[in-house]
Amino acid sequence: MGDLPNLPKSEMQVARIVWRLGEASVRQVFEALPSQRDLDFYTVQTYLRRLEAKGYLKKRRDGRTNVYLPAVKPQRVIRQVVDDVVDRLFDGNSMPLVQHLIDERNLTKADLDALQAKLDELKTRSRKG
Amino acid sequence: MGDLPNLPKSEMQVARIVWRLGEASVRQVFEALPSQRDLDFYTVQTYLRRLEAKGYLKKRRDGRTNVYLPAVKPQRVIRQVVDDVVDRLFDGNSMPLVQHLIDERNLTKADLDALQAKLDELKTRSRKG
DNA sequence: ATTCCACACGTTCATTTGAACGCAATGTAT
DNA sequence: ATACATTGCGTTCAAATGAACGTGTGGAAT
């Protein structure tokens, strides 16, 4: 249950690449950076090291290179970040955030349909459960 | 449309109190702090000063004390923070966040109903629009 | 008028974050 | 075997953040 250390913006960006790739060396992460985001190789290295120190990533040795892989499930991190924002913005209530998302982002028709489907599903489940 | 400066966690907590109160002196904010959160009076003072410097709050003089009040609408800040988290977590797609909220937070029946109502409303509107 | 308190303002200070180096060690190509 | 290129690891550095202090001043109570 121990809360994870802070996961700042820049480091998370790097962490997400590892999540996506499953596992990756510094270079692989470096090369997988979105083109807009141009960080020095050294910097990527530093962030990965920090992520390991904080317990977000594990390190494996492959020859002389380190291969980083997730140490915690993305789900957990997402949850934490969302918790945090919900706390900060809405005193811990999720609903206002949902409302905001639906009101202020213009979701596509497809999105709304998906949402409807999910609602139907939940309704069914609660009727049964 | 200029982006607002960073609004860190601790400072936002203080800013929200001002939003809620409409306007407030340092002491009022200090006293309105949730009991869990115990900051020094000085610290509150510092945060308010920074918030003013960043353009989130305005300052008015009332006798010898400063009274702080919002300089930007909370809506704007909320939007910015949510944008940020959506970018960081889901590459800018709101839907996954909505999904997460519905799946992982257990919303109450009432919440779901409210959601359904909103969906219905949107559906109607899009049919007309 | 004097004392005292509260406040503004300027300052400080440690930690974290964002970003990058340098060098020694290790591999790879020749 | 030698040279070259890549890494790991330790370090650095500035800016941002979290938190608090000290002094001077201006009002309020005596």
- Tell me if chain B has a CB within 8 Å of the CB of A9: yes
Nearest Cβ partner of B111 from A81, A95, A116? A95
Residue B74 contacts residue B94 (beta carbons within 8 Å): no
Structure tokens at B82: 């949510």
How many percent of chain B have pLDDT more than 90?
83
- C1' of D22 to CA of A83 (Å): 39
Summarize the confidence of residues B103-119 as an average pLDDT: 91
Mean pLDDT of all residues belonging to chain A: 92
- Tell me if chain B has a CB within 8 Å of the CB of A98: yes
- Tell me if chain A has a CB within 8 Å of the CB of B97: yes
- What pLDDT, in 10s, does the model give residues B5-41? 999 999 999 999 999 999 999 999 999 999 999 999 9
Q: Is the pLDDT of residue A129 over 80?
A: no
What's the confidence (pLDDT) of residue B126?
Answer: 77
Q: Look at A115 and B98 and tell me if their CB atoms are within 8 Å.
A: yes
- What pLDDT, in 10s, does the model give residues B89-108? 998 899 999 999 999 888 89
- What pLDDT, in 10s, does the model give residues A34-68? 999 999 999 999 999 999 999 999 999 999 999 99
Is pLDDT larger for residue A129 or for residue B43?
Answer: B43
The DSSP element (H or E) to which A52 belongs, if any, is helix A41-53
Q: In 10 A of CB A76, how many CB atoms?
A: 12
* Distance in angstroms (rounded) separating the CA atoms of residues A85 and A82: 5
- C1' of D9 to CA of A60 (Å): 15
What's the confidence (pLDDT) of residue A91?
Answer: 86
Nearest nt (C1') from B44 Cα = D19
How many percent of chain A have pLDDT more than 70?
98
* Distance in angstroms (rounded) separating the CA atoms of residues A69 and B37: 36
Q: List the end-to-end C-alpha distance of chain B, in Å, as a whole number.
A: 28
* Distance in angstroms (rounded) separating the CA atoms of residues A79 and B76: 24
Q: Is the pLDDT of residue A1 over 60?
A: no
* Phi, psi for B69 (deg, rounded to 5): -145, 160
Interior/surface letters A14-25, b for 16+ CB within 10 angstroms, e for the rest:
bbbbbbeeebbb
What's the confidence (pLDDT) of residue A105?
Answer: 86
Which of A87, A118, A127 should be substituted to probe chain B, the one whose Cβ sees the most B Cβ atoms within 10 Å? Answer: A118
Residue type, B114: A
Q: Calculate the dihedral angle through the C-alpha atoms of A26, A32, A37, A38, rounding to the nearest 10 degrees.
A: 50
What's the confidence (pLDDT) of residue A2?
Answer: 61
- What pLDDT, in 10s, does the model give residues A75-119? 999 999 999 899 889 988 999 999 999 998 888 999 999 999 999
What's the confidence (pLDDT) of residue A107?
Answer: 87
Alpha helices in B1-129 (DSSP H): 9-21, 26-32, 41-54, 74-90, 94-104, 109-128
Nearest nt (C1') from A41 Cα = C20
Q: Is the pLDDT of residue B1 over 60?
A: no
- C1' of C14 to CA of B113 (Å): 49
What's the confidence (pLDDT) of residue B70?
Answer: 97
Summarize the confidence of residues B109-114 as an average pLDDT: 92
The DSSP element (H or E) to which A43 belongs, if any, is helix A41-53
The footprint of strand C (CB < 7 Å) covers A 5-6, 8-11, 39-40, 42-43, 45-46, 63-64; B 25-27, 41-42, 45-46, 49, 59, 64-66
How many percent of chain B have pLDDT more than 70?
98
Chain B contact set for A122 (CB, 8 A)? 102, 112
What's the confidence (pLDDT) of residue B129?
Answer: 61
Look at residues B63, B78, B61 and name the one whose alpha carbon lies nearest to residue B19.
B78
Map tokens 């999910």 to a residue.
A118
